[in-house]
Structure formats: C-alpha cells, structure tokens
C-alpha cells in the first residue's frame, strides 16, 4: 500500500479496510487480519493498526471479540457508507465547492460529467 503525505496513515488504513468491506473481500461476521498481521502486510507499526481498529470499532464497522480477534460487524456495509459519506461531506466536498466557485463550474455541467462518469465506469 502506498501512503499519501496529506492524510494520517491510520486514516488511510481505515479507508483500506472499508474498501475491502465494500468490495466484499471482507464479509460480515468474518475475522479480519490481526493487528500484527496487518501491520506486517502494510509495513507499519502495530500501534498504527491498533489506532485504526479502535476508530473502526467506534464506528461499529468492526468488533473485538475478546481473546479471539477482530471481526467485521454485522451491519458493516451501512456503517462504512455512513462513515465514508460523512468524511466526504466534511472533508472533500468543501474543497470541491471552492474549486467549483473559483472555476465557475455550475451544477448542470457537473451533473453531465457525473452521469458520463457513471455510464463509463459502472454501467458496463
């Protein structure tokens, strides 16, 4: 995994875990990699992975079964979508709105681009 400088590593790992859940690679009620396993796989400090798992546990995306390990929560897909949606709305959307304003891009133009993007990438 290639980490970006503009965001904390534990948050990037959270995105990685969430993406695996949304893509169906990690399914509800399945055990996820241990803190040490994921730390070795991603070449990060185990404390960083633990911080990620604590965040995801607080968002009800994963659960800790004491003595057994971490598991994907039953309603993880909805919880991931809610978490990612709030992140997008709070962090990314203001930047997009600012650029739209500065570049004089209207919602009509954006809508056309969005519809084209969806057709080309998801309606195949």
Which stretch of DSSP H or E encloses residue 77? helix 76-87
Distance of CA 28 to the CA centre of its chain: 16
Residue extents of the structural domains in the chain: 1-124
Whether 42 and 1 have beta carbons less than 8 Å apart is answered as yes
pLDDT value at residue 124: 57
Please determine, looking at this structure, whether the domain spanning 1-124 carries the CATH number 1.10.10.10. yes
DSSP state, residue 4: P
Per residue in 10-38, pLDDT tens?
999 999 999 999 999 999 999 999 999 99
Q: How far is CA 93 from CA 5, 60, 90, 106, in A?
A: 20, 24, 7, 15
**pTM for the structure as a whole:** 0.80
The residue ranges of the chain whose pLDDT is under 50 are none
């Amino acid at each position: 995994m290639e980490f970006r400088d503009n965001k904390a590593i534990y948050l990037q790992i959270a995105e990685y875990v969430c993406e695996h859940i949304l893509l169906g690679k990690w399914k509800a009620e399945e055990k996820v990699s241990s803190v040490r396993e994921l730390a070795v796989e991603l070449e990060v400090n185990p404390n960083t992975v633990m911080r990620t798992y604590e965040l995801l546990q607080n968002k009800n995306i994963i659960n800790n079964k004491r003595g057994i390990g971490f598991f994907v929560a039953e309603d993880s897909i909805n919880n991931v979508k809610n978490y990612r949606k709030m992140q997008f709305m709070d962090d990314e959307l203001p930047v997009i709105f600012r650029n739209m304003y500065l570049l004089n891009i209207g919602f009509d133009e954006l809508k056309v681009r969005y519809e084209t993007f969806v057709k080309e990438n998801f309606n195949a």
